[in-house]
Amino acid sequence: MASNEEVIRYSDVELAEFGALIQDKLSRAEEQLESLQSQIIEISENSSDKHGGDWVDDSSVNNDIEMLNNMAIRQRKYIQDLSNAMQRIKNKTYGICLVTGELIDKRRLLAVPTTTKSLTAKTDIRRKDEERMTHRITDNPYVKEKKLDKEQKTKIITKIVRKGPAVTPPPKPVMDEDEDDDDYLEEDDLGLDDVDFDNIADDDDGDDD
């Protein structure tokens, strides 16, 4: 008689296979992070030596440093996701979808080893998010009010002027031209050849999914 407490998971052999893959990616990711940090330090030191130079060059250097910093931040997150995956392998929970509790397809794990959701679960979550966003836009009361205001503004206002008995108008006072004014005022290569960009946070959407 089969036990009702049987847990669906990948075998120890398969977990070891995933572990070897993740460990290799983790080592490479750490090397790439060190390379990025070295380039940031090098560019910063060179720019400090040229302090007071052309402001265009300074702007370009700042942009390069900002780009490298963003890449380093993304790389650190990727390393953390890989470390979390290694911990799940040790706990023998790796490859189990957090949403459905079912096994994530092996091909998906090999392509995105940091994922924690099956492709079906991830697709459902994305679809629900899109539906929520659509409802927020269509149900926005401010949108309806703006449409109503626009319709009210398009109404034509007419005024009936009745002619009275002919009366000699009084002399028109001399006005300064400024009194009739409505007062309307119009208002390069960074030396990144040693960085494997395909492995920087290579999850399918950049998050721990």
Each residue's pLDDT tens digit, 135-164: 777 666 555 555 545 555 555 555 555 555
Determine whether domain 12-135+195-199 maps to CATH 1.20.120.910. Answer: yes
- Largest CA-CA distance found in the chain, in angstroms, rounded: 116
Domain boundaries, the chain: 12-135+195-199
Each residue's pLDDT tens digit, 69-111: 999 999 999 999 999 999 999 999 999 999 999 999 999 999 9
Q: What is the pTM of this model?
A: 0.60
Residue type, 5: E
Instruction: Give the residue, 135 or 200, on which the prediction is more confident.
Output: 135
SS3 for 96? strand
Confidence check: pLDDT of 34 > 60: yes
